[in-house]
């Protein structure tokens, strides 16, 4: 795994960072956008910076090659999911401009940041990121965001469901998708927590599947490991 910080203090820093990103992506099979609280997480947090950088023609070209020529994978969690949405990588599968009717992630219905454990059900195993998870299985992970409400019009919602692009949904104690605030804390439409690109190789989700460990949240009931980071083959 290679982690690179995008430096933007000076114009030369930006140019060098773009060349660095371009070079690293050209040698990679997977690109991941992590979560982060840049700019206070509002509005859009670090997602707006991810999106600005990855719309650069040089980087956009490498992402296109990754997805179209090398059978690559992409993952975005929390603010990383926001970045994928803004870039169009989910649900479109390519870097595109957002349209007025494009799905997006909006402010939580309670109007503030939420931080709690949530229960999500895997409702599609189309994505290789979820190939090790149990279809219909419920997994408990922490959510921590101010803008995590998935919003889309009826046409998009129907399309995503029919294509199997709705990967995970917020569910209640009985495993049923719900709009109840206790279980769907941001008010996402159709209780959608994660979606994929049309072919499933790009996954975006809000809950932090990476924030788990043998000594973490031991007092919380439920399976916490979706095996996201062991699944891609």
Report how far residue 167's alpha carbon sits from residue 196's, in angstroms, rounded to the nearest whole number.
7
Residue 1: pLDDT band with limits 50, 70, 90: confident
- pLDDT-derived band at 230, boundaries 50, 70, 90: confident
Any idea which residues carry the catalytic annotation?
78, 208, 210
The closest alpha carbon to 48, from 73, 84, 22, belongs to 84
Q: Which domains, ranges and CATH numbers included, belong to the chain?
A: 11-205 (3.40.50.880)
Q: How much is the pTM?
A: 0.94
Instruction: Give the pLDDT confidence of 16-47 residue by residue, as tens digits.
Output: 999 999 999 999 999 999 876 665 555 566 77
The pLDDT value recorded for residue 144 is 93
Least Cα distance to 2 among 35, 25, 36 occurs for: 25
Quickly state the pLDDT bin for 214 (edges 50, 70, 90).
Answer: confident
pLDDT of residue 35: 78
In terms of residues, how long is the chain? 233
The 10s digit of each residue's pLDDT in 120-141 is: 999 998 999 999 999 999 999 9
Query: What pLDDT score does 45 carry?
Result: 63
Query: What does pLDDT average to over the chain?
Result: 93
Q: φ and ψ at 46, to 5 degrees?
A: -70, -10
- Percentage of the chain modeled with pLDDT above 90: 82
């Amino acid at each position: 795994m290679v982690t690179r910080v995008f430096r933007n203090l000076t114009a030369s820093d930006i140019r060098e960072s773009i060349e660095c990103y371009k070079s690293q992506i050209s040698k990679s099979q997977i690109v991941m956008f992590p979560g982060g609280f840049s700019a206070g997480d509002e509005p859009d947090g670090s997602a707006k910076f991810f999106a600005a950088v990855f719309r650069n023609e040089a980087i956009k070209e490498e992402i296109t090659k990754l997805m179209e020529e090398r059978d690559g994978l992409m993952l975005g969690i929390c603010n990383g999911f926001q970045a994928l949405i803004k870039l169009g990588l989910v649900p479109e599968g390519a870097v595109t401009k957002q349209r007025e009717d494009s799905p997006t992630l909006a402010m939580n219905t309670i109007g503030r940041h939420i931080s709690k454990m949530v229960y999500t059900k895997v409702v599609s195993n189309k994505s290789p990121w979820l190939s090790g998870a149990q279809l219909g299985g419920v997994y408990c992970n922490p959510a921590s965001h101010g803008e995590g409400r998935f919003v889309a019009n009826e046409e998009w919602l129907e399309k995503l469901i029919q294509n199997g692009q709705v990967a995970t949904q917020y569910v209640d104690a009985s495993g049923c998708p719900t709009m109840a605030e206790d279980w769907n804390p941001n008010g996402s439409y159709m209780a959608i927590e994660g979606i994929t690109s049309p072919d499933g190789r790009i996954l975006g989700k809000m809950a932090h599947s990476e924030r788990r460990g043998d000594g973490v949240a031991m007092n919380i009931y439920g399976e916490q490991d979706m095996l996201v980071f062991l699944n891609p083959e």
